[in-house]
Structure 1
């Protein structure tokens, strides 16, 4: 089982607010030339108010899903809807971190469709978008299967090339099965009860950022 990052609630609030300020800038400047991150305040009460402002303004800026936006990920459509999806999972995963900061075993369980989309976003969109796969030595297949949504992903890793992903059920050199919630946590490197069998070294090439 992976170890949960040692986040504190204060650090999480500052991190999320900073990311959301960055997204606000990316939505306001689709060219990407002037996109910047804000600086979280030190004072706790001021930080909370600043976080609320970033979240509220970012959400309002996403009102038109087709509005042009800058994104640093090559595979994503350059529109506000892509940021909405990315930020849904950014918030969801860090919500887990906050839960773990307060309790060893969080009681929350994510909606199966949201969790499946979070697996898909990482495997199909974020991982292949990494800047340089030419030096990768990873080789093998990874099979993922969500038992409740019955969604499957087969990841083929070839030396020096981005992974190829297909919606195919089966087994691989590494096989990960469980509920969508369990897979979501596992591929995003958070504590999970997903069943993992085979070559666990193949987890590293698909690890979350």
Structure 2
């Protein structure tokens, strides 16, 4: 991000590398405020300018990593999701936030970025459904449906089932763990992994 500040992020074309760095710095500072009890979890994220992020991001990241490492995972810390208000939520969220944005940053220089590690991607898929999708349904941001997504993960042989939010006709997708992680965050077209069943749940994926 710092090495390509003016280059368009191919996976997020509204951003340059500096914009992406500013977003990441804002995430770090937002968590500082939440852990200190100085912010509401539903408030907008801290805004950091791209110019500022170019000079402060290393310190912002170091401070966040130290904070997460030194905090009891079960300590109460608010979050915006339907999951428990515990620090461990943010440890997990930070891991996936930086995983996807590291991949985004690589698109400024590489047509085929190194995939997100499979173990991290596997939990990232689970987090998407457990936090983002479940919260969207609970809060009324997404229209409930009787539909089920079946993820057939080719590199591990695992199959995971995700109701939206009620079980119903099955839509099957197939791909590697890193590919499907990118698909849930629309860095890849979810429909390109479709193998059987109604494509509509993939075309109208809950927009988080």
Tell me the TM-score normalised to structure 2 length: 0.79
Aligned length: 192
2:6 corresponds to: none
Instruction: Write the distance in 1 (CA, Å) between the matches of 2:33 and 2:108.
Output: 29
The question of 1:94 aligning with 2:89 is answered no
Distance 1:42 1:11, change over 3 A: closer
Match of residue 54, structure 1, among 33, 52, 60: 60
Tell me the TM-score normalised to structure 1 length: 0.78
1:160 corresponds to: none
Q: Map 1:161-172; keep pairs closer than 5 Å.
A: 163-164=165-166
1:184 corresponds to: 181
Deviation of 1:49 (Å): 2.8
1:14 corresponds to: 22
1:84 corresponds to: 91
Deviation string 1:79-132 (CA, Å, 9 cap, x unpaired) is 2211010011011111111112222222x0222111100000001222111253
Deviation of 1:179 (Å): 1.2
Q: Map 1:48-197; keep pairs closer than 5 Å.
A: 48-62=54-68, 63-64=70-71, 65-75=73-83, 77-106=84-113, 108-130=114-136, 131-133=138-140, 136=143, 138-157=145-164, 163-164=165-166, 173-191=170-188, 195-197=193-195
Name stretches of at least 5 consecutive residues in structure 1 with no aligned partner.
158-162, 166-171
In structure 1, the residue corresponding to 2:18 is in which secondary structure? helix
Distance 1:93 1:173, change over 3 A: same
Deviation string 1:34-81 (CA, Å, 9 cap, x unpaired) is 9674332453xx423321222111112212222221111122x21221
Instruction: Write the distance in 2 (CA, Å) between the matches of 1:183 and 1:50.
Output: 33
Mean CA deviation greater in 131-140 or 83-92: 131-140
Instruction: Write the distance in 2 (CA, Å) between the matches of 1:137 and 1:90.
Output: 26
Greater relative contact order (CA < 8 Å, ≥ 6 in sequence): 1
Q: Please tell me whether the aligned partners of residues 144 and 153 of structure 1 are also in contact (alpha carbons under 8 angstroms).
A: yes
Instruction: Write the distance in 2 (CA, Å) between the matches of 1:66 and 1:134.
Output: 28
Instruction: Write the distance in 1 (CA, Å) between the matches of 2:43 and 2:129.
Output: 26
Mean CA deviation greater in 77-86 or 33-42: 33-42
Q: Please tell me whether the aligned partners of residues 147 and 178 of structure 1 are also in contact (alpha carbons under 8 angstroms).
A: yes
Distance 1:54 1:98, change over 3 A: same
Deviation string 1:16-51 (CA, Å, 9 cap, x unpaired) is 1111111111111188389674332453xx423321
